[in-house]
């Protein structure tokens, strides 16, 4: 199959992305064989922990083979492309590829899955099923970030719910709470996806009328941005309106193309806003994060929440740029409310459940990502293309930093619970003198999460505020309230756990073990490295971000 110049296959001809996608599924098959051969649970744990190094290594190879300079030169925007016909009757292709937006999230998935596996070391019930579901969840998340045909994109999007649901329901903290939390999480996300699915049926029919029936997300994105696609005349907006007009709907609702792209925009936004936990679609998150087992909490917060933002960057902005720009102030307002509500939600839990507090900080941090996406699309104001690209770079950097730091906080919260048997902050205190290494490691993760300069969280937040200020200055200024309140909540959490008078119940508590330090130190090293030298992520993202926002600037002005 001949590829257009903006798609670049692997230069060595090897299907690296397929190997990456299949590697967790092979690991899952090996777990099944281990059950068949009646291998003990300890062997399975060591085997799965070792096997997660395979997708990690393959992700590193993909990163090494990605040519950012080619993207900057305007060639090979999407690389390591693998494409072949799958269902010819409806033009579905097996289409995988990575660009500067998806590759950082692929790397994050590969890094955080081993952490989730190691966080499951104390699981004693249905061990093989638990670890098999973790590998299945990793495969679904990788497939979501790699798939560039909507057919497979949507399959991975929906299928990621299945292992996450069973992990929360079957291994949650309290079955009376974890089961409703799992059910709410599943139904919420599934219901939000209905509009997205129906929309793409309409888009497919409109494209068929235009002469190119396709689910190709890159081609559709180029049409949405007004770029050339071989075999098609007109923009996606014009193609959709022509189809609506032919159906006679335009005679009833009016001949305003923006009306129809607006309907499409909201169908896309709601689906992804639920997963990103944008206010007011965030209500499933505190229960799901706090009631999930540690491994699920790590993957839900570190990776799955980013699926919503990625969907907005991959589908919403490119396909519907006019509606995205028109409704950008609404998105900015929703982001602001989420930022402030998440911050005060965390503060309100300062005397309660440590996992729930961390969950509310995630709502706050994903609000910044939503603010960056809104700012990238907003009416020009004082914004140039540079500011818009900076906002997208900040969003990607924030997603990586949040994934690493929040994953670390959930891991350490579970380690604290394993030593004390409590999740309540009111029952702790003074532990710094008993477990100084624990206090130091959790302090670094906490400061990275709240955005201390020198750590990765600061870079993401700085870029977001720098980029968003140009187009949404009022919302950006008000969003600083969330910075202060979240920092206060996290510092008070640290104070409740490690400072003040010692609770004598924990006077014999053990400090972090070498194994726990072995899990945490690489994460902290990444947070420090990216805080001082963010170029590895920004270098991947910048060219793709610049091309993504090129359509914005003067659409509606």
Tens of pLDDT, residues 52-92: 999 999 999 999 998 877 776 666 688 899 999 898 888 89
Closest residue by Cα to residue 551 from 399, 397, 323, 331: 323
Strand, coil or helix: 283: coil
**Element housing 76 (H / E):** none
Q: In this model, does residue 13 exceed pLDDT 90?
A: no
Which whole number is the average pLDDT over 135-164?
94
Instruction: Please tell me the distance from the alpha carbon of residue 154 to that of residue 195, in angstroms, as a whole number.
Output: 12
pLDDT at 118: 93
Q: In this model, does residue 517 exceed pLDDT 50?
A: yes
Structural domain boundaries in the chain: 327-557
Query: Virtual CA dihedral for 224, 227, 231, 235, nearest 10 degrees?
Result: 40
Q: In this model, does residue 554 exceed pLDDT 60?
A: no
pLDDT at 26: 95
pLDDT at 557: 45
Report phi then psi at 134, rounded to 5: -60, -45
pLDDT at 236: 83
Pair of tokens at residue 350: 């300062």
Q: Exposed, middle or buried, 42 (CB in 10 Å: 0-12/13-18/19+)?
A: exposed
Q: What angle, 0 to 180 degrees and rounded to 10, lies between the N-to-C axes of helices 127-146 and 161-171? A: 150
* pLDDT, tens digit, 9 for 90 and up, residues 447-489: 999 888 999 999 999 999 999 988 899 999 999 999 999 999 9
pLDDT at 1: 58
Report phi then psi at 287, rounded to 5: -70, -45
Average pLDDT, the chain: 88
* pLDDT, tens digit, 9 for 90 and up, residues 14-61: 899 999 999 999 999 999 998 888 888 899 999 999 999 999 999 999
Query: Which contacts of 45-51 are long-range, i.e. CB under 8 A and separated by 24 or more positions?
Result: 45/117, 45/120, 45/121, 45/127, 45/131, 48/117, 48/131, 48/134, 48/135, 49/114, 49/117, 49/118, 51/23, 51/26, 51/27, 51/135
Q: In this model, does residue 431 exceed pLDDT 70?
A: yes
Q: In this model, does residue 367 exceed pLDDT 90?
A: yes
Beta partners for residue 353, in sequence order:
424
Share of the chain above pLDDT 70, in %: 96
Q: In this model, does residue 358 exceed pLDDT 70?
A: yes
Closest residue by Cα to residue 346 from 331, 357, 355, 359: 357
Which whole number is the average pLDDT over 250-259?
66
Which whole number is the average pLDDT over 414-443?
88
pLDDT at 73: 63
pLDDT at 361: 92
Q: In this model, does residue 510 exceed pLDDT 60?
A: yes
Q: In this model, does residue 535 exceed pLDDT 50?
A: yes
**Residue 215: alpha-carbon gap to chain centroid:** 22
Instruction: Please tell me the distance from the alpha carbon of residue 79 to that of residue 98, in angstroms, as a whole number.
Output: 5
| CB-CB contact of 76 with 4 (8 Å) | no
Closest residue by Cα to residue 390 from 326, 476, 304: 476
In the numeric block, the tokens 């990163």 are attached to 63
Kindly report which listed range (66-80, 332-346, 415-429, 431-445) carries the lowest average pLDDT score. 66-80
Strand, coil or helix: 382: coil
Which whole number is the average pLDDT over 187-198?
88
With vertex at residue 83, the alpha carbon angle to CA 78 and CA 85, rounded to the nearest 5 degrees, is 145
Instruction: Please tell me the distance from the alpha carbon of residue 508 to that of residue 344, in angstroms, as a whole number.
Output: 34
* pLDDT, tens digit, 9 for 90 and up, residues 218-231: 888 888 888 887 77
Q: Is the peptide bond before 482 cis (omega within 30 degrees of 0)?
A: no
Report phi then psi at 149, rounded to 5: -110, 130
Instruction: Please tell me the distance from the alpha carbon of residue 179 to that of residue 211, in angstroms, as a whole number.
Output: 48
pLDDT at 529: 95
Q: In this model, does residue 391 exceed pLDDT 90?
A: yes
Pair of tokens at residue 172: 């949650």
């Amino acid at each position: 199959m001949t590829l257009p110049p903006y798609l670049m296959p692997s230069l060595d001809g090897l299907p690296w992305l397929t190997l990456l996608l299949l590697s967790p599924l092979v690991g899952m098959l090996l777990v099944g064989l281990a059950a068949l051969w009646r291998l003990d649970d300890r062997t399975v744990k060591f085997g799965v922990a070792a096997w997660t190094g395979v997708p990690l290594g393959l992700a590193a190879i993909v990163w090494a083979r990605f040519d950012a300079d080619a993207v900057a030169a305007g060639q090979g925007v999407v690389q390591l492309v693998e494409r072949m016909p799958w269902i010819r009757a409806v033009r579905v292709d097996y289409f995988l590829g990575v660009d500067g937006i998806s590759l950082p999230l692929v790397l994050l998935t590969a890094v955080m899955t081993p952490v989730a596996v190691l966080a499951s070391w104390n699981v004693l019930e249905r061990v093989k099923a638990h670890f098999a579901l973790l590998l299945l969840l990793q495969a679904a998340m990788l497939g979501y970030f790699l798939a560039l045909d909507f057919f497979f994109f949507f399959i991975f999007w929906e299928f990621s719910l299945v292992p996450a649901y069973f992990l929360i329901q079957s291994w949650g903290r309290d079955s009376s709470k974890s089961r409703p939390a799992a059910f709410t999480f599943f139904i919420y996300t599934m219901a939000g996806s209905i509009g997205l699915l129906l929309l793409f049926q309409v888009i497919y029919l409109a494209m068929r009328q235009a002469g190119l029936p396709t689910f190709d997300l890159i081609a559709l994105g180029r049409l949405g941005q007004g770029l050339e696609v071989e075999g098609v005349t007109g923009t996606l907006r014009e193609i959709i309106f022509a189809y609506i007009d032919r159906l006679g709907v335009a005679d009833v609702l009016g001949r305003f193309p923006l009306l129809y792209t607006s309907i499409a925009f909201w169908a896309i936004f709601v689906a992804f806003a639920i997963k990103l936990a944008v206010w007011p679609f965030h209500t499933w998150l505190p229960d799901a994060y706090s009631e999930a087992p540690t491994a699920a909490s790590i993957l839900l917060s570190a990776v799955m929440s980013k699926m919503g933002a990625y969907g907005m960057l991959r589908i919403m902005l490119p396909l519907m740029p006019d509606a995205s720009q028109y409704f950008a102030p609404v998105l900015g307002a929703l982001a602001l409310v989420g930022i402030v509500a998440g911050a005060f939600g965390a503060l309100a839990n300062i005397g309660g459940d440590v996992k729930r507090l961390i969950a509310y900080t995630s709502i706050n941090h994903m609000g910044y990502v939503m603010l960056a996406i809104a700012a990238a699309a907003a009416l020009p104001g004082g914004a140039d293309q540079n500011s818009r690209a900076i906002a997208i770079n900040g969003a990607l950097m924030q997603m990586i930093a949040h994934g690493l730091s929040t994953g670390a906080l959930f891991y350490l919260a579970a380690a604290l619970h394993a030593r004390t048997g409590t999740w309540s902050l009111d029952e702790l205190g003074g532990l710094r003198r008993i477990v100084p290494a624990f206090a130091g490691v959790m302090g670094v993760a906490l400061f990275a999460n709240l955005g201390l300069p020198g750590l990765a969280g600061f870079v993401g937040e700085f870029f977001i505020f720098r980029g968003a200020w140009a187009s949404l200055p009022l919302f950006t200024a008000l969003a600083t309230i969330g910075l202060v309140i979240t920092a206060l909540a996290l510092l008070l959490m640290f104070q409740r756990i490690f400072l003040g008078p010692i609770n004598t119940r924990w006077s014999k508590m053990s400090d972090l073990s070498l194994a726990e330090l072995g899990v945490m130190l690489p994460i902290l090293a990444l947070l420090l490295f990216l805080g001082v030298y963010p170029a590895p992520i920004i270098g991947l993202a910048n060219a793709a971000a610049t091309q993504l926002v090129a359509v914005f600037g003067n659409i509606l002005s």
